[in-house]
Amino acid sequence: MTGPLQMEEKSEEDHRALLNQGEENELLRCIQVQKIRYVWDYLEKRFQKVGLLEDSNSCYDIHHTFGLGLTSEEQEIRRLVCGPNAIEVEIQPIWKLLVKQVLNPFYVFQAFTLTLWLSQGYIEYSVAIIILTIISIVLSVYDLRQQSVKLHNLVEDHNKVRVTILVKDKGLQELESRLLVPGDTLILPGKLSLPCDAVLIDGSCVVNEGMLTGESIPVTKTPLPETENTMPWKCHSLEDYRKHVLFCGTEVIQVKPSGQGPIRAVVLQTGYNTAKGDLVRSILYPRPLNFKLYSDAFKFIVFLACLGVVGFFYALGVYMYHEVSPRDTATMALILLTVTVPPVLPAALTIGIVYAQKRLKKKKIFCISPQRINMCGQINLVCFDKTGTLTEDGLDLWGTVPTANNCFQKVHSFASGKALPWGPLCAAMASCHSLILLDGTIQGDPLDLKMFESTAWKMEDCDVNSYKFGMSDSNTIIKPGPEASRSPVEAIAILRQFPFSSSLQRMSVIAQLAGEDHFRVYMKGAPEMVARFCRPETVPKNFPQELRNYTVQGFRVIALAHKALKLGKFSDVERLAREKVESELTLLGLLIMENRLKKETKPVLKELSEARIRTVMITGDNLQTAITVAKNSEMISPSSQVIIVEASEPEEHIPASVTWQLVENQEMGPGKKILVNGTIFARMSPGQKSSLVEEFQKLNYYVGMCGDGANDCGQLQLFGNYQYLMQDIAITLMVCLTMSSTHAYPKLAPYRPAGQLLSPPLLLSVFLNSCFTCIVQICAFLHVKQQPWYCEVYRDSECFLANQSNFSSNVSLERNWTGNATLVPGSILSFESTTLWPITTINCITVAFIFSKGKPFRKPIYTNYIFSFLLISALGLTIFILFSDFQDIYHGMEDAILQNREFWLLIKNEFGFNSKSQYRIWQKKLAEDSTWPPINRTDYAGDGKNGFYINKGYENHELVSKEKLKSGDQIKEQHFWTRL
């Protein structure tokens, strides 16, 4: 495209870019969806996302097409099409927040209800609800405003960063970060807060990714390899591509140029397409909460509305039959419609969450999505990581097991206090790591730090005058410390790193010993993985047995290997492919590390087990180590049978396979059978961990990962103002505001509360309570008619339908003690309402007491002092008014109902109720399967004709090229463990 590109702003959703090419104008349409811009592709006839560099670019394309920057014209076109590199969060005006709140459908209905009630003189309760609603809206608007301001301030600095870029026709140019576009070449001079996502193409750097991961451990980034193949750059090798990517919002804390030029990175994504942009968008547009409880709550409100409609037409018929005026008929029918949906419903639905948030906050637990707190009660499976979660964060070095002449040697114990003797193993431990020297302090992964400290060597900045390595002055130098064993080597220079990757389960470095003219490769990683890259003759024959000997004791085992690397010159080091470096190695030995359990692990797992919450361990560590940790933590019983399932990827003509092996006392299974029975999943990459949780959810598990009443309207038209007022405010409202303040029971129950309002136990509770209420009221209604002093309603009374012109008329009842009663004209009271009020009010209080059940999910009711006081006071006041012959009280009740589990289980057993949860179905199938579990069997994958299910999350960002698989270069191994 040539010529200037102009943007014509039409609206937030519809932008148009106009390209002038002589006399012809080509219209380019852009839409913006949740902050992401899309452009219409006239060739493919669909919208394409813009603001990011295409993933189809190869390593060669990125280096040679974008490595020297864009031209000024290309930059201008991209700026107009992609938009600014800015993450802008608008501070919502207060008036707009108010409008959004007030236009909520429930508030609109509430406004209609209160207007109708006020017009009929029901002032006190209406005013109370109005005050409560105003307070609720004000607090909600205030909270939303504060969140908007905080988020705005959080991202504002992102748009004010000054950066230096390389422009093809202008050289180096300094500009604001908001002008960056995908394809720009970014120059990294030193410490910098990254304003975009970029891929490193020259030099290396150390970044702090705490903003994204929460980990304060510095991460080393290496340049993207410069290869000539056409494979997409993310699929270039098995290595995790993130090791080359600098993410927006992270901090560059150290840079290491690889040659004479500056450190360069190509901009990949800008604005809301970046990692930080995704994080902000997840806050602005949270994922919809798909929880049965909320859908059931909506259905319940719809049911109440339908009930109100039925009552509306019934009231119309009754009033029209008695020839009441159309105005009064419509008014009374609408009033009956409005009372079916309680005005205090929002408070009743949210007050429990508010109390839960306050209690969690006291425990220093914060929730960014309060609605999800209710889901915590449904959790029936908890997944744990091992290292740093079940075990201590730090590692203690136990010893090393060197190898020589294809045999394991005597163990060197660090507990003896003796320094590690010099040798290739010592050199590997001193140099094969990703530690950095920052402000005079060595920082990095705790495992690397512990390993390096055990050698008693020290790290310092490179001094090219002291050490003639023929390298740049940015490389790391390792020297023997005062307490190190005597070494003939004066220093070691770390020239290049291939960082550790969870998917690869290893890392390696290219180093050079002072005085040598050749280079050395050192590797460390998972023992099974490292052994694959070693020459078979250097791996002891008893390697599996020796490894198992330590892993079954719960030790964490790391293997180390090395080889000599002969190259012509130092510049060749940067061009070497990882596959060439990591081959034909010599095994040096094993590093044994002790990872102790946290003191909290056993009690927590025991409590979860007693609560019948299934626990699962998902770890990237060795299988046997994980099993031992699980036994020591009592996640599994030491007497449990165990079957190990070993899954392998296809290798050349050998299809993928699953091998079953009975191991001492343990067991396992494929597909859904594995998920239903598995307890330990080992050698799992981060992507596989996420996908595993997703698969658990598909089986209807509620998964936690550790690495939160109805109104009675039977005699509605016979009750008076102050009867409504007392029940609505003194009982119903107070119950709603205090009932949920009962704290959670300190011990977990061995079953979950109902996850949906329409579940049979809850419906049964409501049904039985309704039946009880109806029986009591009918008996009271019939009983009062049998009394000798009972008389029909006086025809001039407001209780007589033809005389009801004012809903708010005063109430009076004169009664003498001779058994005669006189109804004063203008009253709205009847003997029926006088009798039903105390019955329904006491029933309301009783129901509140009964449904405030304590164990097993909440503490006893007497621990909720305010609620208990209110119930006792309400009951005492009701009895006092009853015997003092005061005015009647309107019956209103809205409550949260707990299931009677014992009764419900009895009904389920009697009627043969079967769970619809997928994991329950599979558990039942396995219990009836006589061939389960298979032992000493290998199952191979078919030819694919029948199709196989693959969770895309397992392959996300970990794509393996066919060439790699054919070469048999990297065959990943996954282990699973299960308990029957």
- Active-site residues, by number, are 385
Residue 691, phi then psi, degrees to nearest 5 = -70, -35
Record the tokens describing residue 524, joined without a space: 């460390």
Record the tokens describing residue 168, joined without a space: 């093809």
CA neighbours closer than 13 Å in the CB half-sphere of residue 805: 5
How far is 545 from 667, CA to CA, in rounded Å?
20
Amino acid identity, residue 672? K
Nearest one of 165, 157, 160, 153 to 177, comparing CA atoms = 160
How far is 964 from 970, CA to CA, in rounded Å?
7
Nearest one of 588, 592, 583, 593 to 426, comparing CA atoms = 588
Contact predicate 715/836, CB 8 Å: yes
How far is 829 from 794, CA to CA, in rounded Å?
10
* CB-based burial, 142-177: b 16+ in 10 Å, e otherwise: eebeeebeebeebbeebbebebebbbeeeeebeeeb
Sign of the CA dihedral with 350 first, then 351, 355, and 358 last: positive
How far is 883 from 698, CA to CA, in rounded Å?
59
For residue 933, what is the DSSP state?
S
Return the bridge partners of 646, or none: 659, 975
Name the one residue in this structure whose structure tokens are 């140029």. Answer: 257
Contact predicate 710/767, CB 8 Å: no
CA neighbours closer than 13 Å in the CB half-sphere of residue 13: 2
Record the tokens describing residue 669, joined without a space: 């299974």
Nearest one of 799, 802, 821 to 811, comparing CA atoms = 799
DSSP-derived secondary structure for 489-534: ---EEEEEEEEEETTTTEEEEEEEETT-SSEEEEEEE-HHHHHHTB
For residue 856, what is the DSSP state?
T
How far is 432 from 451, CA to CA, in rounded Å?
9
Strands 457-460 and 476-480, bridge-based pairing: antiparallel
CA separation, residue 947 to residues 33, 647, 671, 793 (Å): 36, 18, 14, 78
How far is 767 from 586, CA to CA, in rounded Å?
75
Contact predicate 895/735, CB 8 Å: yes
How far is 408 from 429, CA to CA, in rounded Å?
18
E strand spans, 405-463: 407-408, 412-413, 436-438, 441-443, 457-460
How far is 569 from 586, CA to CA, in rounded Å?
23
For residue 654, what is the DSSP state?
B
C-alpha dihedral over 725, 726, 731, 737, to 10 degrees?
Answer: 50
CA separation, residue 979 to residues 320, 644, 646 (Å): 71, 10, 15
SS3 21: strand
Q: Which residues contact 782 (CB under 8 A, 6 or more apart)?
A: none
Q: Which residues contact 162 (CB under 8 A, 6 or more apart)?
A: 174, 175, 176, 177
E strand spans, 789-875: 813-815, 821-823
Contact predicate 500/240, CB 8 Å: no
